[in-house]
Amino acid sequence: MTLTRRDVENIAHLARLRISEAELPAYANNLSRILGFVEQLAAADTAGVVPMAHPLEGEVQRLRADVVTETDRHERYQQNAPAVEAGLYLVPKVIE
Amino acid sequence: MKLHELSVAALGRGLREREFSSVEVTRAFLDRIAARNPALNAFITVTAGRALADAAAADARLARGEGRPLTGVPLAHKDIFCTDGILTTCGSRILGNFVAPYDATVVERLDAAGMVLLGKTNMDEFAMGSSNETSGYGPVRNPWDPGRVPGGSSGGSAAAVAAGLAPVATGTDTGGSIRQPAALTGLTGLKPTYGRVSRYGMIAFASSLDQGGVLAQSAVDAALVLAAMAGPDARDSTCIERPVPDYVAGLERPMRGLRIGIIREFFGPGLEPGTGAAVQAALGGFRTLGAELVEVSLPNLPLSVPTYYVVAPAEASSNLSRFDGVRFGHRCADPQDLRDLYERSRGEGFGAEVKRRIMTGTYVLSAGYYDAYYLKAQQVRSLINADFRRAFAAVDVLMGPTSPTPAFPLGAKVDDPITMYLNDIYTIGANLAGLPAISVPCGLVEGLPVGLQVIGPHFAEELLLAVAHAWQRETDWHQRRPPEPAGGTA
Amino acid sequence: MSGGWETVIGLEIHAQLATRAKIFSGAATAFGAPPNAQACLVDLGYPGVLPVLNGEAVRMAVRFGLAIGARIAPRSVFARKNYFYPDLPKGYQISQYELPIVSGGAVTIVLEDGSRKRIGVTRAHLEEDAGKSLHEGLGEWTGIDLNRAGTPLLEIVSEPELRSAREAIAYMKKIHTLVRYLGICDGNMQEGSFRCDANVSVRPVGASEFGTRCEIKNLNSFRFVDKAIQYEVGRQIELIEGGGRVVQETRLYDSDRGVTRPMRTKEEANDYRYFPDPDLLPLVLEPAFVESVRATLPELPDDKAARFVADHGLSEYDAGVLTASRELADYYEAVVAALGGEPKLAANWVMGDLAGLLNRDGLEISGAPVTAAGLAGLLGRIVDGTISGKIAKEVLEAMWSEGQGADAVIEARGLRQITDSTALEAVIAAVLAANPGQLAGYRAGKDKLFGFFVGQVMKATGGKANPAQVNELLKRLLAGP
């Protein structure tokens, strides 16, 4: 798999990463090599093999009781926030 | 022996017998950190004030006779664990200003056990690396040779314990990140079974592979600390509800009759000869102890690295989406619009390796590629898991090298991701199958430590620790210390 | 519908489940808290935190599945839907994708002509709600409130079997009724507890292929669903008839202008990169669990309506109206029980005067000032002849505003019917004496004048005369001595 600069731009946008023009060729090269490397998986015979999403087979989801355990701590949590006003997190204006 | 040379077990005993105080011990380690950390860069944050206050509180409990095995013993946490009120960076510039408002379960439990936090250790950014060179806070140096890497991603924890800046440290292991640095710095590094230790508060890299564990000076120390940090946690759906055995009590166990499987695929051409010889010698040692050695083959295991480099980046690409400059972490200056806010905050905050993995993961999950990459990798993961299951039907534990080579020079592999990824060729299998594995020192090659890896079936931590302990009763590799630099020490 | 085109609609209804805590965290779900006061670390997507599933949300989803005769998956899986948006803190929504908890049910809607239509429900899956973006009053910024983030949602996806806005509304109302019957959603559309996305397309009548569809997002009232679909259908037909082509896209309904328009933030094609959420294990439901939920199901609206028709002799229409909400049906049944019968009388009053007063005052049945027992008390006085139906309307209004029982109002206002024959005969005699001309006319054969005399007697008694008794006495006295 050889990725073009354009491919890298598309992936970077999907992942919301700014990659500079100067960096694009190196990313294209490295990502192509990584994808080339993992393509050896194609040779494995996996016909009928159940995909393994989780290392603990047979374990099932636990259910929590429907109980409110949290209190209002937004002031503490928002100490980490870059921009807050009136308890709201701020982002540049979004037009839907 | 100096205080900073004592094991966790010895420190705990000495504290309870009032041979020294926790404040004295803590001060000794803080002095070591002050003296050695500038050169090693093992810590990102040192919590000296808090450590001394906690030590004083521990001393008060010890004075009242309320001491338990770990009361007043210092430790260091990998900076991947959230610590309430303390900077938690995960090795990334994107969290350069992130003060966690809560404690990880591991942190909470070791705190409750009375341990004293010295600080947060350096690591590869978001645990993505095998050399500690991807850290946003500079590389960590290997105490055995400052020109070499300590391994990664728990490189700061490894260097700190190896150099006597902390008696023990936590780590996390997604593809070898506890075992490989333990091997490269002469430590005992245990990655427990997936689900044995809570992941709550451990910043996620690849959620189906990540597991917290310990880097210690011996199996005894690892057993003591694991017993305090493991166990069910209602806040982590993947943490298994299963009681924690008394790992210390289980340490003494004869090796006679133990069936050891030697993994044929781990002794191929990529293995550095000196490392291979040290591991073979260790295997011979176990035979002398009465164990049965048989060669086993896990034919799909060579596919573990490509499998991992699909599964881990896929999960990471999603896990790292939350770092968007809105609620915490780095935010770019003067965002023009929403897209600019996202792309620049993330572009500036993440390092190159993290970006590579996010993009790899984004690609393998994207429309049209999911089946060929992600689904295929999950299927191969199944095959690898089945290989392990078959092997454990015939043997009690599997053995082989932890790392193909001893510590390599800084910068040697940093420009070539594939070569770097192949460092984890022997460790990744256990993560894919969720198995417990331990690395124990088994020799030195040209003055650099070599690790023997022991892999067990699910929840066989007790057996792995007993095997490691049996080895450490016969050998002194785990007691070897890196040379102190010229010019004196604290 | 303009000639030659058929409308095809599928609805994705989002019902917020009425749990106390969120689906993956212990934060409260209550509406109207100050911004971010109910957003805990899990809801905020803080580094290191993990989701743990709320069992009540699972039970509620199973209730819904059982109520529509669907299959409850013995094993379902949570997946991550990845996209960047400020109201989505983790950069992914935890949802169910390949293996939803509920699949393959149906509901029956009743159309205006009384005919019935079965609408298939493809699936219903559990997921977490997103937060809210506030665009007003923050200058160049948008404010993000994550209180709603993590509220459990049941997304109910219909088959594309709805053929008009009216069918869509009937289906949506049906689901609305059902989720409230089941007690799994408060149905409050103004607060966004119940809302839908509509997939709309048109195709030539008789065509078997579907046309290109547009998805209209976030419709939160029945009226908007109606208007948005009608507008969108018109737009698509006009576009195609004008030689254009419908482009598959996500649109928003602008209620101020009554139009739909493309949603800017969805302009670029999304690639959601779904994959199983490794933080959550497969949700496995044992048959015993499902049966324990089934045992708690209430009587469902269709069953209740059928019973009202069979046992109470109500019309299907009346039974449908009375079972539109569980509270209304319960009220009606309580009236019948207290009255000891008379279901048609009870139904007429509940759907008529009572509903009128509720509507006038903007009240829900649960807030009616007159209880079911109170209404039964009133109707009892009609049955036993104490008052007429007409007077009863006046009594109900008084009970409504004064909070008194029927008997107290009747006594206080002296509204008891005059049933004393001697007294009525005296009134009638006076009426006859006062209207000799009409009397002569009647006796000469003008039967129609009977009504005139009834009116005069009622007028003279202030409406309190027993109408049946007046008829009987009048007939006798008009006939002559």
Cα angle vertex C63, ends C77, B241, to 5°? 45
Q: Would residue B78 show up in a list of annotated catalytic residues for this protein?
A: yes
Mean pLDDT of B118-135: 98
Contacts of C271 in chain B (CB under 8 A): 366-367
Alpha-carbon distances of C210 from C4, C160, C200, C203, rounded to whole Å: 14, 9, 10, 6
Q: Averaged over A34-44, what is the pLDDT?
A: 96
Average pLDDT over chain C, rounded to whole? Answer: 93
CB-based contact B326 A82, cutoff 8 Å: yes
Tell me, what's the pLDDT at A58? 86
DSSP state at residue C224: H
> Which backbone phi and psi does C72 adopt, to 5 degrees?
-95, 120
Cα–Cα distance, C17 to C56 (Å, whole number): 9
Confidence check: pLDDT of C384 > 90: no
Rounded average pLDDT over A16-33: 96
pLDDT of C463 > 90? The answer is: no
pTM of model > 0.95: no
Helix-helix angle A5-14:A24-38, to 10 degrees: 90
pLDDT score of B489 more than 50: no
Note whether B98 contacts C47, CB cutoff 8 Å: yes
Q: Please indicate if any CB of chain A lies within 8 Å of the CB of C143.
A: yes
For residue C265, what pLDDT band results from cuts at 50, 70 and 90?
Answer: low
Q: What is the mean pLDDT of residues B111-133?
A: 98
Q: How far is CA C236 from CA B257, B350, B424, C244, C253, in A?
A: 78, 45, 57, 9, 15
Please write the tens of the pLDDT for every residue from C292-327: 999 999 999 999 999 999 999 999 889 989 998 889
Confidence of residue C1 (pLDDT cuts 50, 70, 90): very low
Residue to test with chain C: of A7, A50, A56, A89, most C Cβ within 10 A: A89
Domains of chain B: 3-261+393-479 (3.90.1300.10)
Q: How many Å apart are CA C170 and CA B355, to the nearest integer?
A: 50
Q: Using CB atoms, which residue from C51, C89, C281 is nearest to B322?
A: C89
pLDDT at C419: 73
Q: Among residues of chain B, what percentage have pLDDT more than 70?
A: 99
The contacts of residue C231 (CB under 8 Å, 6+ apart) are: C253, C258, C259, C260
Q: Do A62 and C138 touch (CB under 8 A)?
A: no
Instruction: Quickly state the pLDDT bin for C269 (edges 50, 70, 90).
Output: low
Whole-number pLDDT of residue C27: 98
Query: Is residue C2's pLDDT more than 60?
Result: no
Which residue does chain A place closest to B310, by CA atoms? A38
Which residues of C, range 126-165, sit inside 8 Å of B by Cβ? Answer: 144
Give the pLDDT mean for C443-449: 87
pLDDT band at C415 (very low <50, low <70, confident <90, very high): confident
Question: Does residue B488 have a pLDDT over 60?
Answer: no
A70/chain C closest Cα distance in angstroms? 5
Instruction: Report yes or no: C366 and C329 within 8 Å, Cβ to Cβ.
Output: no
**A17 contact residues in B (CB cutoff 8 A):** 343, 346-347, 350, 355, 358-359
Greater confidence, B256 or C268? Answer: B256
Residue range C153-172: average pLDDT?
97
- Look at residue C98 and tell me whether its pLDDT is greater than 80: yes
Tokens of B21: 């105080």
Longest dimension (CA), chain A: 58
> Is residue C291 pLDDT above 60, yes or no?
yes
Task: Please tell me chain B's helix, strand, coil percentages from 3-state DSSP, rounded to the nearest 5.
Answer: 45, 15, 45
Residue A88 and residue C34: Cβ atoms within 8 Å?
Answer: no
ipTM over the 0.90 cut-off:
yes
Average pLDDT of the segment spanning C366-386: 92
Is residue B177 annotated as part of the catalytic site, yes or no? Answer: yes
B partners (3+ CB pairs within 8 A) are A, C
> Looking at the partner chain, which of A67, A78, A95 has a beta carbon nearest the beta carbon of C21?
A67
Q: What is the pLDDT of residues A53-76, one digit of tens each?
A: 999 888 999 999 999 999 999 999
pLDDT of residue C111: 85
pLDDT at C54 over 50: yes
**Phi and psi based region of residue B18 (left: phi greater than 0; alpha: psi -120 to 50; beta: remaining):** left
Is C45 within 8 Å of chain B by CB? Answer: yes
Nearby residues of B260 by Cβ (< 8 Å), 6 or more positions away: B283, B286, B291, B292, B293, B294, B395, B396, B397, B398, B399
In this prediction, what percent of chain C has a pLDDT beyond 70? 98
pLDDT in tens, B20-52: 999 999 999 999 999 999 999 999 999 999 999
Find residues 53-72 of chain C whose CB sits inside 8 Å of chain A: 53-58
At C268 the pLDDT is: 65
Task: Locate B8 and state its tokens.
Answer: 């966790």
Q: pLDDT tens digit string along C121-139?
A: 999 999 999 999 999 889 9
Averaged over B130-139, what is the pLDDT? 97
Q: pLDDT category, B490, cuts 50, 70, 90? A: very low
Residue holding tokens 């710095």?
Answer: B185
- Check if C52 contacts B (Cβ < 8 Å): yes
φ, ψ dihedrals at C363, nearest 5°? -110, 155
Residue C362 structure tokens: 């903007």
Q: Percent of chain B at pLDDT above 90?
A: 96
pLDDT tens-digit map of B303-359: 999 999 999 999 999 999 999 999 999 999 999 999 999 999 999 999 999 999 999
Say if residues C30 and C38 touch (Cβ distance below 8 Å): yes
